[in-house]
Structures are given as C-alpha cells and as structure tokens.
C-alpha cells in the first residue's frame, strides 16, 4: 500500500511512456507536483491534458521541462530551468532509458545508450542534488539485465556493438553509481535506490526486430505492474529503506558480485566525469570523491 503523498516536488524523466507514465499518473493523483523532463513536449502536454480530463480531483499537478538526453547541453539547460523555478526538490526519479538495436551516436558523438542511460541521469543528479530536500530520494531505473562487468577498454563498444552488451553495461553502471553515491552521501539523509521494474510491455524495444518486440509483448507485464516497485520505494520513508540498494519486486535483492565493487564504481564515475567535463559545475564536489 502506497502512503499518501502530499506536495512533493518530484522530478521524473521518461514520464511520457511505459513505466514512467504510470509513475507520473499515480504520483500526480496522490499529490506530487511532477516535473516531467521530456524530449517530446507536445507528447507530454497531451498526456497532461488527458490526465486532467480523466482525474479532475487529482491533488497533484504537472510541469513540463524540455530535455533531450541525446544532447548534454539540452540536459544542462533543462536543469537550469528547473533551478530557476524550484528551490527544493524531494525526488529525482531517473527513469528514462533506451535499448538501441543498432549503433547510434548522440549529438555529443557518444554511443547513445551510454549517454541516455548513464551520463544524462548522472549529470542531472550532479546539477540538482543540492536542491534535494532532507529525506529526499534519488531513484535510478536499473534492470535485471546487468550481468558481467564494465568494459573500460571499449566503454562505447565501438566496432563490437550489440544491443544486449551496451544495455547490460549501462544498467550495471547505474547500479554501481547508485551504490557509490549512497556511500558518498550517507550522512546527508538522502536515499539512493536502483529499481528493477520486471519485464514490462512498453515501447523500450521499439527499434528491435519483430521477434524481440513480440517477446516484450508476450512476456512483459503491464506498465502498471512495472511501476509497482518504484511506487513502493516512493511511498516509504528513507529510514524504512536501504540506501544504495537494488530493489526488485518491492524488496532489496542481492545481485551479481560485480555490482557491489566500489573500485569499479569509482573508476566509472571518473570516466563519466571525462565525458561530462564541459557540463560539470566545478563548484560542486560531486566528482571529487576518494
Ligand atoms: N520495459 C522493460 O521490460 C524494462 C525492464 C527493465 C528496465 N527498464 C527500464 O525502464 C525505464 C523506462 O523504460 P520503459 O520500459 O517504460 O520504456 P519506454 O516506454 O520506451 O519509455 C522510455 C521513456 O524514456 C524517454 N526517453 C527515451 N530517450 C530519451 C531521450 N533521448 N531524452 C529524454 N527522454 C528519453 C521516452 O520518451 P518518449 O516518450 O519521447 O519516447 C520515454 O518517456 C528505462 O530506463 C528502461 O531501461 C525497462
């Protein structure tokens, strides 16, 4: 049972489709102000209009801020817009993600899965963490597809691309960063959580061939069900949860030994720093960890 949510400022990415859309609707119904960081503003606005018509008594509301994660300047500009409108945020819910079935580069010339699934959420967290309220939460949508290790020699899988390899690595990366940030910020009462939603029938495999799309359709649960673990974590107080943990089926779940390796996590953070250097705020100590 999700606890009542009132007046929380909830920044959500990937809220225009699939799991994120369900989270957005559930949280706005219960009183959150949901800031949708969306690449497709007309799509977000249409969703809000539909919500307003079908939930006239909703306690919460929406605000749309444009951000395309394939363009790091756009992410930075969006964070500046958020800062200009809000002095505190209670939740940063890093949910947007992609699974590309062929090699794509972002506007920044970086393999797109790495950028959208890892670099953009890390940049958002870096630029907005100081706005997060005491007892606030940072969520990252992870995946059970996180086996193996980080390929530091070829982080972008140039010339050896596989949809599975890049996606798997991006989700291991986000789990490692969740654990690392939880340790770094342990004394600040902010909770960091990695969430696996299950296999869910969404638009995630949109660029796949018919066979993989059919797999998602036949094997995937509904987006409503996929949102349950997020809503479980969002409905608890931080002292009822374990910061840095991976949650699946609304429970802390033990996963691969590689995902607990803080040396790997730190090395990854430093590699991410290299990519993000032009967009980093040097006044913040986020990347200056020991
Ligand atoms: N579905 C599963 O079985 C499954 C399993 C484990 C983990 N996950 C994770 O769950 C999260 C949500 O995915 P989903 O399954 O709900 O898929 P989805 O229906 O495709 O939703 C993905 C969301 O991310 C947004 N997005 C994609 N690229 C973006 C970009 N460049 N800039 C800004 N936003 C962007 C999409 O925006 P648009 O609406 O504009 O396309 C959409 O709102 C992802 O992190 C995914 O990896 C999914």
**Which tens digit of pLDDT belongs to each residue from 61-89?**
999 999 999 999 999 999 999 999 999 99
Task: Tell me, in angstroms, the distance from the centre of ligand 1 to residue 95's CA.
Answer: 7
Residue 78: its pLDDT value, please? 98
What is the mean pLDDT of the segment spanning 193-201?
97
Residue 273: its pLDDT value, please? 97
Residue 2: its pLDDT value, please? 39
Q: List C-alpha distances in Å: 117 to 14, 32, 177, 237, 244.
A: 11, 24, 12, 26, 18
Portion of the chain with pLDDT greater than 90, in percent: 89
Task: Tell me the pLDDT tens digit for each residue of 151-191.
Answer: 999 999 999 999 999 999 999 999 999 999 999 999 888 99
Q: Which residues, judged by CB distance below 6 Å to any ligand atom, belong to the binding site of ligand 1?
A: 14, 16-20, 39-40, 43, 67-70, 95-98, 116, 141, 143, 196-197, 199-200, 202-204, 220
Task: Tell me, in angstroms, the distance from the centre of ligand 1 to residue 205's CA.
Answer: 9
Whole-angstrom Cα distance, residue 190 to residue 198?
Answer: 25
Task: Tell me, in angstroms, the distance from the centre of ligand 1 to residue 187's CA.
Answer: 31
Task: Tell me the pLDDT tens digit for each residue of 137-153.
Answer: 999 999 999 999 999 99
Backbone φ and ψ of 103, nearest 5°:
-65, 125
H or E stretch including 20?
helix 18-30
Q: List C-alpha distances in Å: 20 to 93, 207, 225.
A: 9, 19, 12
Residue 212: its pLDDT value, please? 77
Q: What is the pTM of this model?
A: 0.96
What is the mean pLDDT of the segment spanning 262-283?
97
Residue 4: its pLDDT value, please? 45
pLDDT at 290 over 80: no
The best mutation among 22, 34, 177, 202 to test binding of ligand 1, ranked by most ligand atoms within 8 Å of the C-beta, falls on 202
Query: Which residues neighbour 212 within 8 Å (Cβ) at sequence distance 6 or greater?
Result: 101, 205
């Amino acid at each position: 049972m999700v606890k009542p949510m009132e007046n929380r400022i909830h920044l959500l990415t990937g809220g225009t489709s699939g799991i994120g859309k369900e989270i957005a609707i559930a949280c706005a119904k219960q009183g959150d102000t949901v800031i949708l960081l969306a690449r497709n503003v007309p799509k977000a606005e249409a969703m809000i209009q539909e919500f307003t018509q079908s939930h006239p008594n909703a306690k919460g509301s929406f605000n749309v801020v444009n951000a395309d994660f394939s363009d790091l300047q756009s992410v930075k500009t969006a964070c500046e817009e958020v800062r200009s409108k809000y002095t505190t945020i209670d939740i940063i819910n890093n949910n947007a993600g992609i699974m590309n079935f062929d090699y794509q580069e972002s506007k920044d010339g970086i393999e797109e899965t790495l950028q959208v699934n890892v670099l953009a959420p890390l940049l958002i967290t870096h630029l907005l963490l100081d706005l997060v309220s005491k007892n606030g939460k940072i969520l990252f949508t992870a995946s059970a597809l996180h086996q193996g290790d980080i390929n530091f020699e070829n982080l972008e899988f140039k010339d050896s691309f596989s949809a599975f390899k890049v996606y798997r690595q991006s989700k291991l990366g986000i789990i490692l960063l969740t654990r690392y940030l939880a340790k770094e910020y342990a004394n600040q009462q902010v909770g960091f959580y990695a969430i696996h939603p299950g296999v869910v029938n969404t638009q995630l495999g949109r660029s796949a061939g018919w066979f993989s799309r059919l797999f998602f359709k036949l094997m995937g649960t509904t987006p409503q069900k996929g949102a349950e673990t997020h809503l479980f974590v969002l409905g608890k107080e931080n002292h009822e949860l374990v910061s840095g943990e991976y949650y699946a089926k609304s429970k802390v779940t033990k996963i691969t030994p590689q995902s607990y390796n803080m040396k790997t996590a730190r090395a990854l953070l430093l590699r991410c720093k290299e990519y993000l250097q032009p967009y980093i705020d040097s006044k913040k100590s986020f990347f200056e960890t020991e």
